[in-house]
């Protein structure tokens, strides 16, 4: 037998396998970090497409959302453990490392399993050439607990920066919170942003009831009459599938309900910035109950389509109208609407627990760019209101520059407009809701002195 014949065959590398939940979390994270997708949208979409359900879906959801929520902290840990600048790592490798960090430091995944699964994920999704690097970095990460890493990262830092790192927030957001809250509430408020919210449903008035949801297994909200908590997949409910109920934070529901509380003239209602449609769907039913109708306006056609989808269960010919129009230049006659909701575009910093990636995506420059738009939309909302009409200015943010300061600026221009009630700010740590802000305003009555017909 020749020497060649006696030579042993080369050993084949065992075939790598990666479980479906981790692969789904990785693919979703790549869309979030690479394409500016939203984790709360792309994650469920991928899970549905790949038929991942039950405990596997819960694992993938926590892995994706938790990684996004703590991304800034994990990036500091990866840089320290690797001795590299983040820019020296491939973007897809960095995402594998972030997912690995979350499993090692924030989930009940044994160290060896977290490292091995991350190495396999890197091999399958990227290539064998990066597995050694991923293995080495994650082994160093796993040498310390989260608390130990936080102690290392914050050693010698000033109190505010250390609080930002320990609470997993950018420094500028911590500074904004510190300006708004008593010192003894600051840590609780930041911590609340790191707790995933319960799924809350909103009924479509006239189409479903909270009692129907409770009969199906939901829990009625103690303070919001249109809301109920749902413990499972909302798509399991017939009312949600049919469009007779939808997912909506209780704070968002309270903001919409506020525009209905004060007396107002008779006449149609306007949702000036309606996308994606949750508040429109709630208000549409309430308007029908009062014998009137709602117009929903949204700038972007694709978001206007989402509004129409949210309103689909309301029967013709009384289904609310939806238009694609610029809210700063409404396609309606001035003084036409008894009630106007202006839920304006904002930083979304009130929904950090629901949109985990947004804290790392938003910057102070975004805030500065939004304020002129917010002022313009509030002016347009006031213009659209009928004499004696009610306007609700709403943002999903606690930041003063886009809440109270916008209102004060516009009211200084229009001293004839009055506040109906004090401005109100919700907080997750106080109210169990997103940090929604609302101001209720009234435009002056008919200058001829005639009081309009009012309806509650």
Distance CA 405, CA 175 (A): 17
Q: Which tokens hold the place of 315?
A: 């029967």
What is the C-alpha to C-alpha distance for residues 162 and 150, in angstroms, rounded to an integer? 9
8 Å CB contact between 431 and 251: yes
DSSP line for 404-429: HHHHHHHHHH-TT-EESS--EE--HH
Q: What whole-number distance in Å separates Cα of residue 397 and Cα of residue 426?
A: 9
Residue 117's closest CA among 139, 105, 100? 100
145 closest CA partner among 188, 193, 111: 111
Structure tokens at 432: 């169990």
Closest CA to 285 of 256, 249, 248, 250: 256
Which has the closest alpha carbon to 90: 64, 36, 129? 129
Please say if 396 is a catalytic residue: yes
Vertex 267: Cα angle to 265 and 272 (nearest 5): 105
Strand 385-395 and strand 337-343: the pairing is parallel
CB atoms within 10 A of CB 168: 22
Tokens of 254: 């309270």
Provide the residue count of the chain.
Answer: 456
User: Which tokens belong to 5?
Assistant: 């014949």
Which one of the listed residues 101, 200, 273, 396 is annotated catalytic? Answer: 396
CA torsion, ordered 213, 218, 221, 227, to nearest 10 deg:
-40
Three-class secondary structure of residue 205 per DSSP: strand
Of the CA atoms within 13 Å of residue 314, those in its CB half-sphere come to 27
Instruction: Provide the 10 A C-beta neighbour count for residue 53.
Output: 11
284: number of Cβ within 10 Å: 30
Residues involved in catalysis: 396
């Amino acid at each position: 037998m020749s020497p060649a014949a006696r030579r042993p065959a080369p050993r084949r590398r065992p075939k790598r396998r990666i479980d479906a939940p981790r692969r789904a979390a990785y693919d979703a994270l790549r869309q979030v970090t690479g394409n500016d997708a939203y984790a709360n949208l792309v994650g469920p979409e991928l899970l549905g497409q790949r038929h991942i359900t039950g405990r596997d879906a819960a694992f993938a959801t926590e892995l994706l959302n938790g990684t996004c929520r703590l991304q800034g902290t994990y990036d500091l840990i990866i840089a320290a453990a690797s001795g590299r600048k983040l820019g020296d790592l491939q973007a897809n490798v960095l995402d594998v490392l972030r997912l690995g960090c979350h499993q090692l430091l924030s989930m009940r995944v044994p160290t060896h399993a977290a490292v091995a699964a991350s190495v396999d994920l890197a091999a399958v999704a990227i290539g064998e050439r990066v597995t050694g690097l991923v293995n080495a970095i994650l082994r160093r990460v796993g040498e310390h607990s989260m608390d130990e890493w936080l102690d290392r990262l914050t050693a010698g830092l000033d109190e505010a920066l250390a609080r930002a790192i320990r609470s997993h927030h950018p420094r500028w957001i911590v500074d904004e919170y510190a300006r708004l809250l008593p010192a003894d509430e600051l840590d609780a408020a930041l911590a609340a942003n790191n707790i995933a919210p319960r799924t809350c449903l909103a009924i479509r008035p006239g189409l479903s009831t909270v009692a129907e949801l409770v009969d199906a297994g939901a829990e009625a909200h103690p303070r919001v009459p249109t809301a109920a908590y749902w413990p499972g997949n909302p798509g399991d409910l017939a009312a949600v599938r049919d469009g007779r109920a939808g997912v909506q934070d209780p704070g968002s529901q309270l903001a919409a309900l506020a525009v209905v509380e004060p007396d107002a003239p008779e006449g149609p209602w306007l949702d000036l910035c309606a996308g994606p449609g949750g508040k429109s769907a709630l208000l549409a039913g309430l308007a029908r109950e009062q014998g009137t109708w709602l117009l929903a306006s949204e700038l972007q056609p694709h978001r206007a389509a989402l509004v129409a989808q949210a309103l689909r269960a309301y029967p013709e010919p009384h289904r609310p109208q939806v238009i694609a129009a610029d809210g700063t230049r409404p396609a309606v006659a001035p003084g036409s609407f008894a009630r106007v909701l202006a839920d304006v575009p904002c930083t979304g910093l009130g929904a950090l627990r629901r949109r985990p990636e947004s804290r790392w995506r938003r910057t102070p420059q975004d805030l500065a760019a939004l304020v002129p738009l917010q002022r313009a939309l509030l002016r347009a909302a006031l213009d659209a209101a009928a004499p004696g009409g009610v306007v609700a200015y709403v943002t999903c943010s606690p930041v003063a520059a886009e809440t109270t300061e916008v209102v004060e600026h516009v009211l200084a221009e229009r001293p004839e407009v009055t506040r109906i009630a004090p401005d109100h700010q919700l907080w997750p740590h106080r109210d169990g809701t997103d940090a929604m802000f609302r101001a209720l305003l009234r435009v002056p009555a008919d200058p001829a002195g005639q009081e309009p017909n009012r309806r509650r």
